Amino acid sequence: MRQAAKLLIGLTLAGLPLAANAQSPALRPDQVTFRALYQELIETDTSITTGSCTALADKIAVHLRQAGYADDQIVRFAGPGHPKEGGLVLILPGTSKDLKPLLLLGHLDVVVARREDWTRDPYKLVEENGYFYGRGTSDMKAMDAIWIDAMMRFKAQGYHPRRTIKMALTCGEEGGSPFNGAEYLAKNRPDLLAAEFALNEGGGGRADGKGKVLTAAMHVGEKTSISFRVEATNPGGHSSTPVRDNAIYELVDALAKVRDLEFPLQFSPTTRAFFARAGAARDDDLGKAMIALSKDPKDRAAEAIVNRDRSFHSMLRTTCVATLLDGGHAENALPQRAGANVNCRIFPGDTVEGTRAALMAAIGDPKVTVTARDGRGPLAVPPPLDPKVIGPAEKLVTKYYPGVPLVPTMSTGATDGIFLEAIGIPSYGPPGTFSDPDGNGTHGLNERLAARALYTGRELLTELVRAYADAE
């Protein structure tokens, strides 16, 4: 009872909320504190519609000051006109004047979640059957909590890294607002981000859905996301006298050709290594096909097997897909305009104009225009497969997940790493946590993360940060 009372007092003094439900007796006191921090992050709504990243950044700043960081080591920022989308940068000075800093990047915002759609309240942390449920449990408040916790532990331990360690927590990664904190810092305060390299989301690992971890992942590069406006126009007329020359029909024909457009297979050093190593970790026809394709990209039989997995299919090429439709102006009139948004994820090395040209060629109709819209950011610049980055991660995967291979992977989605790479900071997504084959509800309903993934990821990533910070 006396020890429990001390723990309760410590948590209260730290300003951390206690969990509503009983904690597992297996948790150490430091894990209980960490769980409370994770809970606070989940239960602070940071969605673009009803939440505030600034409010969460305020809470985090309080914890950092209580941990011993000075005001001049905590830099707050927010874009003009976006008071709820603020973030912070924390700096733990290193002892070396020659080594460049290490940057820990995380976004605080989450995808909007509606209570009526979820089984549980999305903004309450619920632990059931070995999983944590709540919006942001996977994307990406687990890593945010790990970064914050590590920086607080380093300060409490009196740790003095050789490299300066920076932590940037931003808002706007999930979209819905013209403001993106990582982009803002890259353009306006690149000095705050300046680093040898950054650790960001996108890595982790993959489990079989039954608790067995199959692969650990190091995120090395990503595609570029850009949308195109595909539009057909027509003089229109009265609907009582229809003609075949119809903007809606022309758009439908064009989109059918976009649907059937298959961009050529490509490999980068990262994706070739992925298919070779991930294939070797499997004992099935898909694994054999992955290995065969990594050796011979012209092996059509192997490609046909690999293409059955839609995530693998996307990793091998540029992809484009229709996502939005609009058309017509009146129920009793022939349409004068019909358009669609086609979202493309461009493989590293391909260009926006080259992708637009491929869409135009596939559509083959001069009456249909294809116009590039503003992209999410600059073209992605893939970082190198640097042994100084990969090596320490491989060692720690062996320690925490014995027998599990570390596989470099290219994201088919998008992260804020593109803004760092545009100013010369390579961005990597380290291993640590893991997800099930269904993606754990990320961006969807009932998002979750395995408790084991959270606690193991915390230890692995904290040790990895120290390994990088103390390396040459």
Q: Does one domain contain both 213 and 247?
A: no
Question: Do 299 and 427 sit in the same domain of this protein?
Answer: no
Domain carrying residue 61 = 2-221+380-470
Domain check: are 31 and 82 in the same one?
Answer: yes
Residue 47 · residue 135 · CB < 8 Å: yes
Do 46 and 184 lie in one domain? The reply is yes
CATH code: domain of residue 365: 3.30.70.360
Which of 134-148, 278-292, 366-380 shows the lowest mean pLDDT across its residues? 366-380
Q: How many structural domains is the chain composed of?
A: 2
- Rounded to 5°, the CA angle 269-436-442 comes to 90
Q: What is the pLDDT of residues 201-226, one digit of tens each?
A: 999 999 989 889 999 999 999 999 99
Task: Indicate yes or no: pTM above 0.85.
Answer: yes
Q: Which of 72, 63, 55, 89 is nearest to 153 (CA)?
A: 63
Question: Given a cut of 50, is residue 6 above it in pLDDT?
Answer: no
pLDDT at 282: 87
Q: What is the pLDDT of residue 386?
A: 95
Residues 57, 184 within the same domain: yes
Q: How far is CA 467 from the centre of its chain?
A: 23
Closest C-alpha to 464, from 204, 232, 282: 204
Mean pLDDT of 424-442: 94
Residue 43, pLDDT > 70, answer yes
Report residue 447 as tokens.
């998002």
Same domain, 126 and 155: yes
| Dist CA 159 CA 92 (whole Å) | 9
- Domain termination residue (choose one: 372, 388, 405): 372
Where would I find the beta strands (DSSP E) of 223-298? 224-233, 237-238
Q: Specify the DSSP class assigned to residue 111.
A: -
Q: Residue 14's pLDDT is what? A: 34
CA separation for the pair 148, 155 (Å, rounded): 11
Q: Which residues fall within 8 angstroms of residue 174, CB to CB, at 6 or more apart? A: 48, 107, 109, 110, 111
Phi, psi of 88 (to 5 degrees): -150, 160
What is residue 25's predicted lDDT score, i.e. its pLDDT? 56
pLDDT higher for 440 or 413?
440
Among 311, 346, 372, identify where a domain stops.
372
The residue that leads in pLDDT, 69 or 379, is 69
* Tokens 């924390």, located at residue: 90
pLDDT at 102 exceeding the cut of 70: yes
pLDDT at residue 66 is higher than 50:
yes
Mean pLDDT of all residues in 23-47: 91
**Which of the pair, 337 or 378, is modelled with greater confidence?**
337
Residue 398 has pLDDT above 60, yes or no: yes
Residues 359 and 261 in one domain: yes
Buried b (16+ CB within 10 A) or exposed e, 410-436: bbbebbbbbbbbbeebbbbbbbbbbbb
pLDDT confidence bin for 338, thresholds 50/70/90? very high
Give the pLDDT confidence of 110-164 residue by residue, as tens digits. Answer: 999 999 999 999 999 999 999 999 999 999 999 999 999 999 999 999 999 999 9
387: closest CA among 349, 428, 417? 428
Is there a single domain that holds both residue 238 and residue 338? yes
CA distance 333 to 112: 37
If asked whether residues 169 and 43 sit together in one domain, one would say: yes
Matching residue, tokens 């730290």: 14
201 and 338 assigned to the same domain: no
Residue 177 contacts residue 95 (beta carbons within 8 Å) = no
Nearest to 327 by CA among 408, 236, 391: 236
| Whether pLDDT at 333 is above 90 | yes
Tens-digit pLDDT profile for residues 230-252: 999 999 999 999 999 999 999 99
Q: Which two tokens stand for residue 441?
A: 């509800």
List C-alpha distances in Å: 174 to 49, 80, 109, 373, 413: 12, 19, 7, 18, 11
Question: Does 338 lie in the same domain as 404?
Answer: no
What are the E-state strand segments in 78-137?
A: 87-92, 102-107, 126-128, 131-133
pLDDT for res 238:
95
The CATH number that applies at residue 34 is 3.40.630.10
Q: Residue 287 is which amino acid?
A: G
Nearest to 39 by CA among 126, 169, 120: 126
Between the CA of residue 347 and those of 31, 201, 372, what are the distances in Å? 40, 19, 16
Domain boundary among 320, 350, 372: 372
pLDDT of residue 211: 87
User: Tens digits of per-residue pLDDT, 82-92?
Assistant: 999 999 999 99
User: Would you give the distance in Å from CA 369 to the centre of its chain?
Assistant: 32
At residue 20, does pLDDT exceed 60? Answer: no
List pLDDT tens digits, range 399-429: 999 999 999 999 888 899 999 999 999 999 9
Residues 207 and 120 in one domain: yes
Q: Tell me, what's the pLDDT at 170?
A: 98
